Amino acid sequence: MNNYSMIAQIVIALSIAYVWIFRFNNIVIEFKQYGLSDLIRTMVGSAKIILSTLLVAGIWYPSLVLIPSLLMAFLMVCAQYFHFKVHNVWQKRVPSFLLLLLSLFIAAVSMNLIK
């Protein structure tokens, strides 16, 4: 396992925890802005927290990393779609874009495309 990948896994997990736990009020506002239901918000948040947990566990169990990193990347692509849909400023788009890049990097390392 690549040290940079492990750092990326921790960065994603801490970022998701920070946003979905400590900045939850912003998440509620954004999902309303996107026209998404509370159920969808809960499902997305649960998925991100579960995937983040699996990414951290993947530090010790590397076989856990590939699928969670790809699913997290998919969720970040969805986030980008909704940011563009409601014409959010680029500053609001950057965090999910960076998490998308980190997720793809982790997946590439997991598939031995990057050493």
- Contact present, 2 and 112 (Cβ < 8 Å): no
- What phi and psi, each to the nearest 5 degrees, are found at residue 62? -55, -25
- Contact present, 27 and 19 (Cβ < 8 Å): yes
Q: pLDDT tens-digit profile of 24-63?
A: 999 999 999 999 999 999 999 999 999 999 999 999 999 9
Burial class of residue 60 (count of CB atoms within 10 Å of its CB; 0-12, 13-18, 19+): exposed
Q: pLDDT tens-digit profile of 58-93?
A: 999 999 999 999 999 999 999 999 999 999 999 999
